[in-house]
Amino acid sequence: MLNVPSQSFPAPSSQQRAASGGRSKVPLKQGRSLMDWIRLTKSGKDLTGLKGRLIEVTEEELKKHNTKDDCWICIRGLVYNVSPYMEYHPGGEDELMRAAGSDGTDLFDQVHRWVNYESMLRECLVGRMAVKPAVPKDCREEKKVLNGMLPKSQVTGTLAKESPISPSYDWFQTDSLVTIVIYTKQKDINLDSVIVDHQCDTFRAETIIKDYSYLVHIGLSHEIQEDFSVRVVENVGKIEIVLKKKESTSWECLGRPLENHNSLILKKDKGLYYRKCQLISKENVTHDTKFFCLMLPRSTHLQVPIGQHVYLKLTITGTEIVKPYTPVSDSLLSEFKDPVLPNNKYIYFLTKIYPAGLFTPQLDRLQIGDFVSVSNPEGNFKISQFQELEDLFLLAAGTGFTPMVKVLNYALNNIPSLRKAKLMFFNKTEDDIIWRSQLEKLAYKDKRFDVEFVLSAPTSEWNGKTGYISSGLLSEFLKRSSDKSKVLICICGPMPFTEQGIRLLHDLNFSKDEIHSFTG
């Protein structure tokens, strides 16, 4: 529910379909696009019927507002009157009505948690749910906790007790440094696993441990310098974050706990955290696709794992709009070693600019030095899928090429068992092929790699393969290096392409474990 609509009638291959996991959409009436909604919210019209007043809503009150003309929904404790939004919702009125008069947080999260409803529905805000105020912990109480290892039972979060993992943290100091140590007690932890941000006195470290997210979130008691270092002791799963004190005084306590501090929740339930990144460069790649380089703040440690995407956020006519993008390596030809250098401060994107799109024209208008917000990474690709891999097949269409970049670089440079890596790259015309010369150079340089281009709208000069994804194309392309070779097939592109591709792969007897689709 509460999808961000970007167009009145999303085309079958529209990005929004991919972004929303292919769920069904209803055609919206003329004049009911996202842009129309933004205009309405800026018109000054009273959308809640409360003349801007915010109220405290009890559960009984919420339940009363359960009709199309009077529909209130609670998301994460905030109550919205969504009746005015009904006609603008691409998932349709019925989908919104499923949460009428109730807490719709779970339903919302199931569909697209990343949609920025706070900004989208700001003018529909009725108020907060009436809840008991949390008792703030003071610094002395925190000191008690932070001076020693935190007992398991004190890790908060609804799943903490049932989860198979029990992370904890501690801290210690010297004259000039404060070290925060996170004990994950897991072996598969690396520098990608932890994302650290500090801003003013707020320190935030989110650690991804299997399917869980463990958060250390503290209002520091003293000032620290902007830069810090992160080390991982992989064999014991220990993460050390070394902060530099601004003044060499002894800290009595680390600070005060902030929201969700020391909590363990399922990764799928975590919210998105953003930091502002600066646009460093922008280069043309094809007639409509550009290569963007963003720089992370010095006070952030973030490495986007292979196969994962982030959300970019921009404010467009006063409303925050969020779209997913998959970071790529700076080139296909550079060496890619794991772990990536810890001082890696840049994130690269290959982004197609759609002239009639909502987000990308605005992204394209950014000047060097401007800022765009970048979220923590998400995605379900696992490095373990490369284990003992012999044949890697990549099926990409258009910008669906982006997740393949890091996958390919990593496999060619880090998987000794790999015998063959092949990319079948589907585009409309030759002019649309992203990084064609790099792909051809890579194929020349590395004999294990091969690329085939397939065009759906070629000119008469094209004498290569043509058409959409088909069983004929795939059966010829997907030749194993040996009968029982370990295979991974990655597929990404417009939703109809991906869906059709997966069907064809099953028909060709590839198993679920052998296929990874990037669908967002």
- Please give the residue ranges that form the binding site for ligand FAD (CB under 6 A): 6-9, 11, 14-16, 18-19, 33, 309, 323-326, 349-352, 354, 356-360, 399, 402, 520
Distance CA 322, CA 333 (A): 31
Which one, 166 or 326, has the nearer CB to ligand NAD? 326
Which one, 297 or 403, has the nearer CB to ligand NAD? 403
The reply to whether 382 sits near ligand NAD by the rule CB under 6 A is no
Q: Using CB distances below 5 to 8 A depending on partner kind, what does residue 37 bind out of ligand FAD, ligand NAD, none?
A: none
> For ligand NAD, which stretch binds (CB under 6 A), given 73-81, 172-180, 338-346, 495-503?
495-503
Which one, 191 or 396, has the nearer CB to ligand FAD? 396
From residue 513, give the alpha-carbon distance in Å to each of 385, 423, 477, 516.
9, 19, 19, 8
Span between the terminal Cα atoms of the chain, in Å? 16
The reply to whether 426 sits near ligand NAD by the rule CB under 6 A is yes
The reply to whether 5 sits near ligand NAD by the rule CB under 6 A is no
- How many residues bind ligand NAD (CB under 6 A)? The answer is 29
Which one, 19 or 181, has the nearer CB to ligand FAD? 19
DSSP3 helix / strand / coil % (the chain, rounded to 5): 25, 30, 45
Residue 231 pairs with which residues in a beta bridge? 240
Distance CA 376, CA 271 (A): 9
DSSP string of 160-192, one letter each residue: TTTSS---EEEEEE-SSEEEEEEE---SS--GG
- Of residues 143, 267, 352, 419, which one binds ligand NAD by CB under 6 A? 352
Min CB(435)–ligand FAD separation in Å: 13
Which one, 16 or 119, has the nearer CB to ligand FAD? 16
Tell which positions 428-457 bind ligand NAD, by CB under 6 A. Answer: 428, 432, 456
Tell which positions 8-47 bind ligand NAD, by CB under 6 A. Answer: 12-13, 15, 18
Min CB(109)–ligand FAD separation in Å: 16
Q: Which two tokens stand for residue 206?
A: 């989110």
> For ligand NAD, which stretch binds (CB under 6 A), given 161-169, 254-262, 327-335, 399-407?
399-407
The reply to whether 399 sits near ligand NAD by the rule CB under 6 A is yes
Give yes or no for a contact between 375 and 298, defined as CB atoms under 8 angstroms apart: no
Residue 125 pairs with which residues in a beta bridge? 80
Distance CA 439, CA 449 (A): 9
The reply to whether 402 sits near ligand NAD by the rule CB under 6 A is yes
Min CB(319)–ligand FAD separation in Å: 13
Half-sphere exposure (Cβ direction) of 66: Cα atoms closer than 13 Å:
12
| 3-state SS class at 153 | helix
- Of residues 65, 89, 301, 309, which one binds ligand NAD by CB under 6 A? 309
Nearest to 347 by CA among 295, 273, 391: 295
The reply to whether 304 sits near ligand NAD by the rule CB under 6 A is no
> Looking at residue 156, what DSSP letter applies?
B
With tokens 């799943």, the residue in question is 159
From residue 444, give the alpha-carbon distance in Å to each of 5, 178, 413, 427.
44, 50, 16, 21
Which one, 2 or 397, has the nearer CB to ligand NAD? 397
Give yes or no for a contact between 466 and 456, defined as CB atoms under 8 angstroms apart: yes
Chain centre to alpha carbon of residue 11: 23
Nearest to 37 by CA among 115, 127, 112: 115
Which one, 15 or 193, has the nearer CB to ligand NAD? 15
- Of residues 400, 486, 490, 491, which one binds ligand NAD by CB under 6 A? 400
448: left (phi over 0), alpha (psi -120 to 50) or beta: alpha
Q: Using CB distances below 5 to 8 A depending on partner kind, what does residue 427 bind out of ligand NAD, ligand FAD, none?
A: ligand NAD
Q: Using CB distances below 5 to 8 A depending on partner kind, what does residue 357 bind out of ligand FAD, ligand NAD, none?
A: ligand FAD
Distance CA 17, CA 248 (A): 54
DSSP string of 31-55, one letter each residue: T-SHHHHHHHHHTT--SSSSTT--E
Distance CA 335, CA 291 (A): 19
Q: Using CB distances below 5 to 8 A depending on partner kind, what does residue 358 bind out of ligand FAD, ligand NAD, none?
A: ligand FAD
Distance CA 227, CA 177 (A): 12
The reply to whether 468 sits near ligand NAD by the rule CB under 6 A is yes
- Of residues 90, 297, 398, 458, which one binds ligand NAD by CB under 6 A? 398
Beta-carbon contacts of residue 178 (< 8 Å; ≥ 6 apart): 171, 172, 224, 242, 243, 245, 251, 254
Q: Using CB distances below 5 to 8 A depending on partner kind, what does residue 6 bind out of ligand NAD, ligand FAD, none?
A: ligand FAD
The reply to whether 469 sits near ligand NAD by the rule CB under 6 A is yes
Which one, 7 or 409, has the nearer CB to ligand FAD? 7
Which one, 257 or 493, has the nearer CB to ligand NAD? 493
Which one, 406 or 486, has the nearer CB to ligand NAD? 406
Residues within the interface to ligand NAD (CB under 6 A): 12-13, 15, 18, 309, 326, 352, 397-400, 402-403, 426-428, 432, 456, 468-469, 492-494, 496-497, 500, 518-520
